[in-house]
C-alpha cells in the first residue's frame, strides 16, 4: 500500500515557475514507477511526465517537453515536477501516481497506475 500526497500547487502568472512535490509513504517506494497527470475542467486526465524506478528513464508529454522536468529522490520517497515557462493552458489539477513494476520501465496510461494522490491545483493566469 502506498499513500501519495501532493503539494506545491498555486496561482502563478504566465511565464512563471512552480515545483510540485509528491511524498510517498511506505518502504517500497523504489519499487514504483511514478507519474504526474493533470486534468483540466471538462477535459480528460492526461499524462504529463513519468519516471522509472531508478530515475534513469523519464518521459514528458509533447505539450510540456522542454518546460517540465520530473525527478525523484528514493532516499526521501519523493518525486518532483519542476514546471517552468508556465502557460494558461497548463491550468489543471495535477495528480501524482505510482505503478508497481519489477522492471525499469515507465507507465503512460491512467489504468497502468495503482495508487493516486488527491491532486493539487495549478492555476496560470495570462
pLDDT tens, 59-86? Answer: 999 999 999 999 999 999 999 999 999 9
pLDDT value of residue 26: 80
Residue 121: pLDDT band (50, 70, 90) is very high
In the chain, what percentage of residues exceed pLDDT 70?
100
- pLDDT surpasses 80 at 4: yes
- pLDDT surpasses 90 at 1: no
- pLDDT surpasses 80 at 27: no
The conformational region for residue 110 under phi > 0 = left, psi -120 to 50 = alpha, else beta, is alpha
Residue 31: pLDDT band (50, 70, 90) is very high
- pLDDT surpasses 90 at 25: yes
Contacts of 92 (CB under 8 A, 6+ apart): 38, 39, 40, 43, 121, 122
Amino acid at each position: 500500500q502506498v499513500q501519495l500526497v501532493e503539494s506545491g500547487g498555486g496561482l502563478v502568472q504566465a511565464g512563471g515557475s512552480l515545483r510540485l512535490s509528491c511524498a510517498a509513504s511506505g518502504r517500497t517506494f523504489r519499487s514504483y514507477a511514478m507519474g504526474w497527470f493533470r486534468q483540466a475542467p471538462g477535459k480528460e486526465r492526461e499524462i504529463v511526465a513519468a519516471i522509472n524506478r531508478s530515475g534513469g528513464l523519464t518521459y514528458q508529454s509533447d505539450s510540456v517537453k522542454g518546460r517540465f522536468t520530473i525527478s525523484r529522490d528514493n532516499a526521501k520517497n519523493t518525486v518532483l515536477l519542476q514546471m517552468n515557462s508556465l502557460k494558461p493552458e497548463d491550468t489543471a489539477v495535477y495528480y501524482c501516481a505510482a505503478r508497481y513494476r519489477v522492471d525499469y520501465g515507465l507507465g503512460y496510461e491512467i489504468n497502468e497506475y495503482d495508487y493516486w494522490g488527491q491532486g493539487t491545483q495549478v492555476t496560470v493566469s495570462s
